[in-house]
Amino acid sequence: MSFCTAVNCIDGRVQIPVIRYLQERFGVRYVDLVTEPGPGRSLSGPADPEIKRSILRRVGVSVDTHGSRLIAVVAHADCAGDPADPEEQRRQLAASADHLAGSFPSASILGLWVCERGVVHPTCSRWPAGEAGGEDDQANQ
């Protein structure tokens, strides 16, 4: 796999840790970034529908043009775009992963949460049926 996609916050503190995590953990060379303030909140709730469409359109470019089959959605501590507590952010990540899995059924979806020290923690995953990685991983939610 050469490319994957990260739907990440615009906050510069979380860009490099997420890129490195995805490169090291999944062996991708490139990480296409789709940035939005608090993307977990935008994808999981009754946010502006135009923001959701914009995120999905940009992810689609990565999937269709670069062949990305792994999409990470990211939340983080001290987020100005989504000031919810970490547990609520994790719930948002799970709902966002469901939304992305429905829109991109052939892709593997990961929810990642970045703590204040910049450490990336996987929180949930959704794998296409029959893929290595198993069925939807509900245990990590």
Where do the structural domains in the chain lie, given as residue ranges?
A: 3-126
pLDDT for residue 21: 98
pLDDT for residue 130: 72
Closest of 40, 38, 27 to residue 69, by C-alpha: 27
pLDDT in tens, the chain (141 residues): 599 999 999 999 999 999 999 999 999 999 999 999 999 999 998 778 999 999 999 999 999 999 999 999 999 999 999 999 999 999 999 999 999 999 999 999 999 999 999 999 999 999 998 775 544 443 333
Helix (H) or strand (E) holding 15: helix 12-26
| Identity of the residue numbered 87 | E
Give the pairing type, strands 108-114 and 120-126. antiparallel
pLDDT for residue 48: 86
pLDDT for residue 136: 41
Helices (H), the chain: 12-26, 39-44, 49-66, 86-103
pLDDT for residue 131: 72
CATH topology assigned to domain 3-126: Beta-carbonic Anhydrase; Chain A (3.40.1050)
The token duo for 114 is: 């970045």
Q: What is the pTM of this model?
A: 0.91
Distance, C-alpha 81 to centroid of its chain: 15
